[in-house]
């Protein structure tokens, strides 16, 4: 058991976009990532189910002895972050607040948020953006839109297809011209950020939460004095666990992380049965 790792979980491997930023910003830290491929997508499930899944995912990482958990999944961060923070006594960081802070500071007059159905229904982004805008004395119009079809397109390897382009254009009709800044409120969307940018045009500023979250994790490690102070870059450990394998796991892992990082072989775990070690 590794006691000094940072745990990261997501409903699938899309959260590797967050892991990548963490690996780059925190070169001396070890990481354990869990992707719940077997139960993906979370974004179309009820709040009750998302809370239950989030609790099980966090419990798996706690059993592994992690010192801090990053909830890379926007859906779990929107619906279940507070209940996770109440249930576990290590720092638990979601992706919504760091992204909302950056978005509000960057937006001029109008902010748009896209995410899964559950993320948008929770209105978590809207509430936090309004709070931060008020703190900054900034007047912003804030709009949001569920864009549920984007995840399955990316999962199925259709990220470069014309059909995906049409779907994005349809979602953005009567929406994108009303915003100057767009928050990618889902783990998968950074994978198609270039496509989204080319459809929106270069005048729209796009916020991808991964870097903002990594800085928040760095601050939290320092504040709690739990950062790894031993220079560890060469020997560090990055472990990936999934609850199921399919071709997407390998395709997206390679697409997001490439071959640059010291990854161990992806391991299959059963977090639902007795073999959840
Ligand atoms: N990880 C989810 C999110 O960031 C997207 C995929 C899903 O619906 O589970 O909201």
Name 71's bridge partners.
Answer: 9, 94
CA 261, CA 20: separation in Å to the nearest integer?
A: 9
197-230 tens-digit pLDDT: 999 999 999 998 898 999 999 999 999 999 998 8
Residue 264 has pLDDT above 90, yes or no: no
Q: Which of 90, 187, 182, 188 is nearest to 144 (CA)?
A: 182
Count of Cβ atoms closer than 10 Å to residue 33 Cβ:
29
pLDDT mean across residues, the chain? 93
Is the domain spanning 6-94+211-268 CATH 3.40.50.1860? The answer is yes
Average pLDDT over residues 164-172: 98
In the chain, CATH 3.40.50.1860 covers: 6-94+211-268, 96-209
Question: Hey, which of 9, 12, 96 would you mutate to test ligand 1's pocket, going by the most ligand atoms within 8 Å of its Cβ?
Answer: 12
29-55 tens-digit pLDDT: 999 999 999 999 999 999 999 999 999
Spacing, Cα 133 to ligand 1 middle (Å): 26
Q: Which of 36, 111, 112, 38 is nearest to 80 (CA)?
A: 36
Average pLDDT over residues 69-88: 98
Count of Cβ atoms closer than 10 Å to residue 224 Cβ:
12
CATH topology of domain 96-209: Rossmann fold (3.40.50)
200 is catalytic: no
Spacing, Cα 42 to ligand 1 middle (Å): 6
105-159 tens-digit pLDDT: 999 999 999 999 999 999 999 999 999 999 999 999 999 999 999 999 998 889 9
Atom in ligand 1 nearest the alpha carbon of residue 116:
10
Question: Hey, which of 40, 121, 183 would you mutate to test ligand 1's pocket, going by the most ligand atoms within 8 Å of its Cβ?
Answer: 40
């Amino acid at each position: 058991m590794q006691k000094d790792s940072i745990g990261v979980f997501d409903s699938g491997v899309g959260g590797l976009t967050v892991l990548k930023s963490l690996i780059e910003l925190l070169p001396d830290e070890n990481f354990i990532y869990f992707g719940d491929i077997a139960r993906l997508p979370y974004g179309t499930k009820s709040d009750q189910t998302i809370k239950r899944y989030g609790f099980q995912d966090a419990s798996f990482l706690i059993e592994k002895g992690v010192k801090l958990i990053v909830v890379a999944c926007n859906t779990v961060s929107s619906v279940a972050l507070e209940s996770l923070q109440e249930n576990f006594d290590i720092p638990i960081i979601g992706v919504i607040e760091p992204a909302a802070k950056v978005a509000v500071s960057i937006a001029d007059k109008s902010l748009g948020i896209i995410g899964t159905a559950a993320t948008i229904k929770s209105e978590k982004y809207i509430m936090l953006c309004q709070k931060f805008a008020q703190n900054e004395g900034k007047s912003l119009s804030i709009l949001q839109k569920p864009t549920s079809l984007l995840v399955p397109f990316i999962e199925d390897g259709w990220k470069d297809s014309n059909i995906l382009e049409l779907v994005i254009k349809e979602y953005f009709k009567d929406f994108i011209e009303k915003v100057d800044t767009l928050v990618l409120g889902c783990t998968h969307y950074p994978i198609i950020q270039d496509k989204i940018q080319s459809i929106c045009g270069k005048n729209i500023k796009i916020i991808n939460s991964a870097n903002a979250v990594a800085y928040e994790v760095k601050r939290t490690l320092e504040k709690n004095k739990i950062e790894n102070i031993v220079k560890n870059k060469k020997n560090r450990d990055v472990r990936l666990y999934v609850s199921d394998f399919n071709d997407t796991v390998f395709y997206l892992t390679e697409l997001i992380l490439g071959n640059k990082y010291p990854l161990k072989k992806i391991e299959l775990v059963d977090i639902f049965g007795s073999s959840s070690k």
